[in-house]
Structure 1
């Protein structure tokens, strides 16, 4: 088994200074890739680039606010120049600063959530897609969410953007297949990161959400990173247009039916 299936590959990861993006960037480097890490800057960005270098790979920090299309264009160019090309693009940047009922959210809230979670992703896909399809090879990985797979009360704006990312993954996989470019997505469930800190900070909320997960735990960023490596490597050469769910079994339940049946079975035993 090849323990470094990405040797010789050059990757770009957005939102790479923390959480899932950081874990993916480090996992790609451990698998042999040189990695350009994009984020808004700061010590965390420099730190992850240094960790990649400590793994013996090239780590390139690129300061980029993904909500600025012009900056995305320039940042991708900088990454390609620094790495000498590009084979893998991980479209990870995203998040939300507010949750609540749909009717309480304003037009300004929608603009902010859409700008970070959908518009920025589209801008990146246009830039890296043009590069990869022109060279005739490459892998694109979109980081969506299980929020985009079904109803997500109090997360409506975020959820619709993540659903759009899944739809776009399917479409681009078909459009770019003839050019030798694969496009896939991952849909994480409840992952313990700074993004979900507002949930994990309260024991009742944290444990309540965890109780709905069949594995009875919150996911770790590293749980997502392994899937990113697989979908980016040649071992997944025939995989495109797929959405890999990483949620400890949460979305496999029919509402609460499966969980309740499981609890009844345990009680009977």
Structure 2
């Protein structure tokens, strides 16, 4: 049995938000290595161009399109530019996230609440809606929402962020149920502690890491590549009967 085709994304077009670094870039690189044409999205075009050039240097097809997903009015242009370049969208990865606060939930301002919800919930919702006309034409359409273990059980100091990620899990299940007839699969990944710039405040703190290690079956922080490989499974034909799933990659934290 030749399994190479099962995990192939040859000819597919993938739009990935928050893709200039960390988990988003790892997903983009792994998808590109699997044959996809990848569109990297984040706020700064110069950073995107640099990362897209890294992929092109490896022989991959990649384009960077700047967009602040927290500004809903910018999302239509992101989708339109992607389609103008590659003709369609087969895979959407909602990875971009915001968490401007760390501390007691009652100290979270309404401004911070709105920013978190705009980026973590409203943007994935709107991008799904905007991509729907293209996804429904794909032979293997897949939407992958990057949630968090905080969406399963609230994390201390990350109250509203956890609320937003719980909402994203629910949104995943709603779209999965409603889009089944359109043959669009929608799944969520819930990373635990992954060693990225976004989570540096956690993994660089020895006290916090010491407490976390007591709850981990696999006693280390995860890597962005490990999330990328799980995303490849969900994007490929290997998961053709999987939709509405909420998969954890957390070293056993939620056991």
Aligned length: 252
What residue number does 2:151 align with? 148
What residue number does 1:21 align with? 24
Cα displacement string for residues 181-239 of structure 1 (whole angstroms, at most 9, x for unaligned residues): 11111000011111111122222222322332110000110110000001000111111
State the Cα distance separating 1:67 from its structure 2 match. 1.1
What residue number does 2:208 align with? 205
Q: Aligned partners of 1:206 and 1:181: how far apart in 2? A: 39
What residue number does 2:162 align with? 159
Q: Aligned partners of 1:181 and 1:155: how far apart in 2? A: 31
What residue number does 2:107 align with? 104
Q: Aligned partners of 1:48 and 1:7: how far apart in 2? A: 21
State the Cα distance separating 1:134 from its structure 2 match. 5.3
TM-score (norm 2): 0.94
Q: Select which of 219, 224, 227 maps to 2:222.
A: 219
Q: Aligned partners of 1:75 and 1:103: how far apart in 2? A: 35
Q: Which moved more, 1:91-100 or 1:47-56?
A: 47-56
Does the Cα contact within 8 Å between 2:88 and 2:134 map onto a contact in 1? Answer: no
Cα displacement string for residues 115-157 of structure 1 (whole angstroms, at most 9, x for unaligned residues): 1211122121111123313557511000000000013222110
Q: Aligned partners of 1:227 and 1:117: how far apart in 2? A: 20
Q: Aligned partners of 1:249 and 1:74: how far apart in 2? A: 40
What residue number does 1:265 align with? none
Q: Which moved more, 1:169-178 or 1:136-145?
A: 136-145
What residue number does 2:185 align with? 182
What residue number does 1:38 align with? 41
Q: Aligned partners of 1:206 and 1:47: how far apart in 2? A: 32
What residue number does 2:253 align with? 250
Does the Cα contact within 8 Å between 1:66 and 1:116 map onto a contact in 2? Answer: yes
Q: CA RMSD in A?
A: 1.5
Q: Select which of 74, 84, 96 maps to 1:81.
A: 84
Cα displacement string for residues 65-106 of structure 1 (whole angstroms, at most 9, x for unaligned residues): 101222111011101111121111101100312111111112
Does the Cα contact within 8 Å between 2:98 and 2:115 map onto a contact in 1? Answer: no
Q: Select which of 236, 241, 245 maps to 2:239.
A: 236
Q: Which moved more, 1:49-58 or 1:65-74?
A: 49-58
Cα displacement string for residues 53-74 of structure 1 (whole angstroms, at most 9, x for unaligned residues): 1232210110101012221110
State the Cα distance separating 1:246 from its structure 2 match. 0.3
Q: Aligned partners of 2:106 and 2:168: how far apart in 1? A: 23
Q: Aligned partners of 2:250 and 2:71: how far apart in 1? A: 31
Does the Cα contact within 8 Å between 1:136 and 1:179 map onto a contact in 2? Answer: no
Q: Aligned partners of 1:70 and 1:151: how far apart in 2? A: 30
Secondary structure of the residue aligned to 1:12 is strand
Larger CA Rg, structure 1 vs 2: 1
Q: Aligned partners of 2:51 and 2:98: how far apart in 1? A: 20
Is 2:96 the partner of 1:93?
Answer: yes
Does the Cα contact within 8 Å between 1:26 and 1:48 map onto a contact in 2? Answer: no
Q: Structure 2 stretches of 5 or more lacking a match?
A: none
